[in-house]
Amino acid sequence: MYIGEISDQKIRDFLTSTIAIAAITGTLFINVIGSFLDIFMSSLICCLIPLIHMMAFALVPESPYYYIKKGNYEAAKQSLQVLRGKRDVEEEVDSIVKAVVRQERTSNQAGLLDLFTVASNRRACLIFVIVCMTNKFSGKNPCMFYTEMIFKEAGSSIDATTSVIVYCGMELIAVVLTTLLVIKRFGKRMLLITSSAGCSVAVLALSLFFFFKDFGFDIHYVFWLPITALVSYNIMFSIGLSFGMVTILSELFPTSVKAKALCIADTFSVLMGALVSKIFQISVDQAGSMAYPFLFFSMCSLAGCLLIVRWMPETKGKTLEEIQYVLIGQESGVELSVRRVQFLNNSFM
């Protein structure tokens, strides 16, 4: 939410994707230190990080959107000057004022129900649900939590700590490379489509391996398939689905309801993650095989891919206000001006 409001549209994609890097680094960090230290020392080290964050964040400027909502134009201007590193920010402040005024006029004294009664907010909610469900039902949690179990079923002897470290390490490398090399060249919509389709194929390969194993086929020649499928899944998940939910929360919801949307979204995401993990555990216990849940996850990823194609707008290079116009189904003032110029040029040619 904060990053979406303070960042320039040219680097917003990059900054929001770094949240996924931080999350994966945290998982990798606790698994690495946890293999050498006891629970008390590991917890003590992990406590220091949020304390440092709390003290450091007190020095960070407030969001200009917040100041505009409170009617403090000068404070918003000063905040933006610090964030942009330049004095001439009047034009950007004016655009933020227009955006906040329009959003406040559209949903005056916005409440919780405005998430569902305002058409643009409903579409943003729908897109979030699609991406969140695709993220969770692609099999992310089972692949990470049951990595050792998957390797063991495939005939590998890798222990739990090593398997998670390898898994998170591969994901971290993929996310870093995506952030540095890919996200600037391709929009997040294309990355989400590619990511969900790739996850579907990778998990399908994992499902087929366990089908062959359960039906007594000779899997000696494809012993490499489970690890290859997991690594491929990790890479494909990292290039889009890993930061898709964060992007939507920071870009698609207007300032009037963003905080409420964030609370509901976090709760929904945690519940879906727990549900998927439980579904995997129960289905493996009942069916006696991992083939069926992974086939289910593959179908969910494919369904999510098709829904993203249908509903997810491209936000690359757009301001937060322009994104709201896309959700409303209207053209922003900039786009209208461009169309007028193109029309006039064509008329006189």
Q: What's the pLDDT at 322? A: 81
Q: What's the pLDDT at 105? A: 65
Q: Which residue ranges make up each domain of the chain?
A: 116-311, 318-348
CB 276 within 8 A of CB 142: yes
Residue 176: which residues within 8 A CB-CB, separation 6 or more? 21
Residues 304, 322: Cα–Cα separation, whole Å: 25
Give the single-character DSSP code of 220: G
Per-residue pLDDT of 23-78, as tens digits, reads 778 878 887 888 788 888 888 888 888 899 888 888 888 888 888 888 888 888 88
Using the predicted structure, report yes or no on whether residue 8 has a pLDDT greater than 90: no
Residue 53: which residues within 8 A CB-CB, separation 6 or more? none
Most confident option among 43-57, 141-155, 258-272, 296-310: 296-310
Q: What's the pLDDT at 345? A: 45
Statement: the pTM of the whole predicted model exceeds 0.75 = no
Q: Which CATH class is domain 116-311?
A: mainly alpha
